[in-house]
Amino acid sequence: IGDGAPAGNYGYTNSGYSVYEEENERLTESLRTKVSAIKSLSIEIGTEVKNQNKMLSEMDNDFDSTGGLLGATMGRLRTLSRGSQTKLLCYMMLFSLFVFFVIYWIIKLR
C-alpha cells in the first residue's frame, strides 16, 4: 500500500478501528451466549408443554370415564325414584336406623 500499514488492517491502524472491532466481538459473543440461553429455555418450555398436554389428555380421559360412571349412577337413581315412594321412604328409614345403631355401637365401645 505504500504508507507502511500492514495489508490486514486496510489502513485503519491509528483510527480506532481495532477498538470498535474488539467491542463488536465482545458484543457478538454476549449476543451468542444470550441466544443459546434463549434456545435452551425454549426447548425446555417445549418439553414442559408436551408433558402438560399429555397430563391434560389423561385428565380428560379420567373425567370422561367419571362422567360415564356418574351418568350410570344418575340413571339408577332415576329408576329408583320412579318406583313407589313408600318403598323409597322405607329404604331411607332403614338406612338411617342402621347408621344410627352403628354410631351408637361405636360410641358405646369407647
pTM of the model: 0.47
Q: What is the average pLDDT across 4-8?
A: 50
- Where in the chain are the domains? 14-83
Give per-residue pLDDT as tens, 22-69.
999 999 999 999 999 999 999 999 999 999 999 999 998 888 888 888
The dihedral formed by the CA atoms of 4, 6, 12 and 13, expressed in degrees to the nearest 10:
-80
Cell of 43: 426447548
Higher pLDDT, 84 or 33: 33
User: Which pLDDT band, with edges at 50, 70 and 90, does 1 fall under?
Assistant: very low
- pLDDT of res. 40: 96
